[in-house]
Amino acid sequence: MNTEPEQTEIDPDEVLNRRERIPMDIDHDPFLGGRTLSPWQQKLNEIIFGVDTPAGRYFDVALLVAILISVMTVVLESVSGLQARFGLYFLALEWFFTILFTIEYLLRLSCVERPVRYARSFFGIVDLMSIIPTYAAIFIAGSQSFLVIRALRLLRVFRVLKIAHCLKESQYLWIAFRATQSKILVFLLVVLTLILIMGSAMYLIEGPKNGFTSIPKSVYWAIVTMTTVGYGDIAPQTVVGQTLAAVAMILGYGIIIVPTGVFSVEVIHASKTERHLDVPCTHCDLHQHETDALYCKHCGTVLPRAARLFELNRQSRLESE
């Protein structure tokens, strides 16, 4: 029986198209374009959501500069000396940028096919939250300080500078977090139990005369000690208390390592899994292959998806002949 893997002629154009369809196009804004948009909406959409045209790049760069200036205005306004001298100017700038970003938000909603979808997206929520604090300050004094949330809008710089693929790494962190949340939850419960036990023990050993006036305050000391922060506002005075404190400090260093290691392993696993697809080979039953693989990396057999591509390619050639 012939066990040699079947080799099929590959059309370079088809392979290129296949490889281009696999990666996620992160540099492309999902709200760019639309079949149901009117001509003026399409033009506005191209300027606001596109980065491949001069008008689109100028718009994004101007928007990023406006965001930076508005955030710096909020930060500088918190300085009492500057507030006393330039308070009116800061207030005018806040309202100017708020009105500007409000108009921009409404324009974004008006030039997309599904405005509700954009409003519920990450950037849509950030855009809305970046203008609400100024209006809320009319009724709640000081709420304009939350305008610093506009700094999140600077994430658009990744797409403007054509490095949006860097944001893909954040997906690995989210996948790792979801995979480790149960483990970390159990770990935190164990740590909280240890903290409660050590705090209660320190309360019994030291007592109110040495500053440990209650169990909650002793638990606070245990948290500060085991996290290696060490404020020093409360410290044990007896030999037994100092011995327990030394044990808590050593445990603190050991505890820090556990969630870091667990999370790091999941991040590495997520990054490796993302670069492979579970496509079984029909010859050796190997499942994990590269996302753009056409042949099995173990035996060289044509993978099922590639076989379908080759069949379509063969049929198109027969029709052309």
pLDDT, tens digit (0-9, with 9 covering 90-100), for 9-38? 444 444 434 433 333 344 556 788 777 888
Q: Which of 28-37, 125-134, 165-174 bottoms out in mean pLDDT, i.e. has the lowest?
A: 165-174
**If you average pLDDT over residues 264-272, what whole number do you get?**
72
The H or E element that residue 260 is part of is helix 239-274
Of 38, 66, 62, nearest in space to 48 by CA: 62
pLDDT, tens digit (0-9, with 9 covering 90-100), for 203-250? 999 989 998 999 999 999 999 998 888 888 889 999 999 999 999 999
The DSSP string of 134-165 is HHHTTTSTTGGGGGGGGGGGGGGHHHHTT-GG
Range 15-46 burial, b when 16+ CB lie within 10 A, else e: beebeeeeeeebbebebeeeeebeeebeebbb
Secondary structure of 21-87 in HEC code, one letter for each residue: HCCCCCCCCCCCCCCCCCHHHHHHHHHHHCCCCHHHHHHHHHHHHHHHHHHHHHHHHCCHHHHHHHH
